[in-house]
Amino acid sequence: MRHIKRLIITSGEPAGIGPDLVIQLAQHSHPDELVVACDPELLIQRAKQLDLPLSIERFDPSAEPSPSLARTIKVLPVELRTPVNAGALNSKNAHYVLEMLTLATQGCLDGVFDALVTAPIHKGVINDAGIPFTGHTEFLEALTKTDKVVMMLATEGLKVALATTHLPLRSVPDALTQDLIGEILTTLNTDLVNVFGIEAPHILVAGLNPHAGENGHMGREEIDVIQPVLTALRNQGLHLTGPLPADTLFTPKYLDQCDAVLAMYHDQGLPVLKFKGFGNAVNITLGMPIIRTSVDHGTALDLAGTGQANTSSLKLAIQYAGDMARHKTKSIHESS
């Protein structure tokens, strides 16, 4: 079992705070090996702008993983398509961003890296380049050839997974099928066991409608769609509670006794989590053959190059990635 994990960090939108964050974090040592996918010249340029010392080493995949040294970044080089000014988006670098993600993901699939950590990207500028793009999660789902991934955010004391992600609210009820909810819950339960090391996880499931439908008087999705799935999965041994009204689910009475929550749509669960831990939360993609974590914030173009970017979320994403990789290795080792 390899104790030191090798994590690949994609530095995100080059005009945003992604390069700043990795440079700021690199001022300190780390027990795992952190490799950054980026144009080395961008890191050198941004480090000068931040007035921070930085040494660049080219990543050597043939070497044994070793802890990261302070003020040093190991780089998986990816060449920018055009020079970057901090804070100024340029759609010519859209392909650069996607190349970073592709190389890093393939490295994880090939076993070169133990986990992927992603700094924030800017969806709009990628679409401006004429590339259809809805987000990291969907892009990685396609790259890894995964049928259905699960988006989960985590902060201290709370994990929230989503049954649907980036959909207009009017589309959510039609998207919620028994097959979808069953698949999401199965994946969530499996990864809570295998990559979080939680034995027999307890999952709370939110209803869709106010008061969880109030016995069908405010909608029948709970009766016709959600409850039958929960009954079937309980018969398979899953520990599930719900469907519960979302306005009372997120209270200590319930949360103190659970390991994760499944919300039916994006703005049902994430406002609560971000109120509790914004800046100290991590975005996790479950169900893929690789481990992927990310920050809980955007590119913050106005902060790029200023030295004011907060590293807390990226630091936590790296911590989660390393811990999840260790749990996964342990789980595989114990089952073999």
Find the domain containing 40 and state its range: 1-146+289-335
Q: How many domains does the chain have?
A: 2
Q: Is residue 292 annotated as involved in ligand binding?
A: yes
Q: What's the pLDDT at 2?
A: 57
Band (pLDDT 50/70/90 cuts) for residue 135 is confident
Same domain, 202 and 235: yes
pTM: 0.92
Tell me if 239 is assigned to a ligand binding site.
Answer: no
Mean pLDDT of 282-296: 96
Task: Check the annotation: does 266 bind a ligand.
Answer: yes
Q: Indicate whether 181 and 258 sit together in one domain.
A: yes
Half-sphere exposure of 4 (CA within 13 A, CB side): 12
Q: Is 95 annotated as a binding residue?
A: no
The Cα–Cα gap between 20 and 302 comes to 12
Model pLDDT for residues 166-219, shown as the tens digit of each residue: 889 999 999 999 999 999 999 999 999 999 999 999 999 999 999 999 999 999
pLDDT of 311 over the 50 cut: yes
Give the pLDDT confidence score for residue 131 in this predicted structure. 94
pLDDT at 1 (0 to 100): 47
The answer to whether residues 231 and 178 touch, using CB atoms and an 8 Å cutoff, is no
Q: Are residues 221 and 242 in the same domain?
A: yes
Mean pLDDT value across the chain: 95
Q: Where are the alpha helices (DSSP H) in the chain?
A: 18-25, 40-50, 94-109, 123-128, 136-143, 172-175, 178-194, 221, 227-235, 246-249, 252-255, 266-277, 312-335
Cα distance between residue 96 and residue 93, in whole Å: 5
On whether 253 is known to bind a ligand per the annotation, the reply is: no
Question: Could you tell me if 42 and 53 lie in one domain?
Answer: yes
Binned at pLDDT 50, 70 and 90, residue 142 comes out as: very high
17, 97: one domain: yes
Report which of residues 94 and 166 the model is more confident about: 94
| 130 and 155 fall within a common domain | no
Question: Given this model, what pLDDT does residue 335 score?
Answer: 66
User: Does 266 share its domain with 328?
Assistant: no
* Same domain (yes/no): 309, 257: no
Q: Summarize pLDDT for 32-51 with one digit per residue, the tens.
A: 999 999 999 999 999 999 99
pLDDT average, residue stretch 219-233 = 98
pLDDT band at 336 (very low <50, low <70, confident <90, very high): low
At residue 93, the pLDDT reads: 98
28 among annotated binding-site residues:
no
Predicted confidence at residue 309, as pLDDT, reads: 97
CATH number for the domain spanning 87: value is 3.40.718.10
Give yes or no: residues 158 and 135 share one domain: no
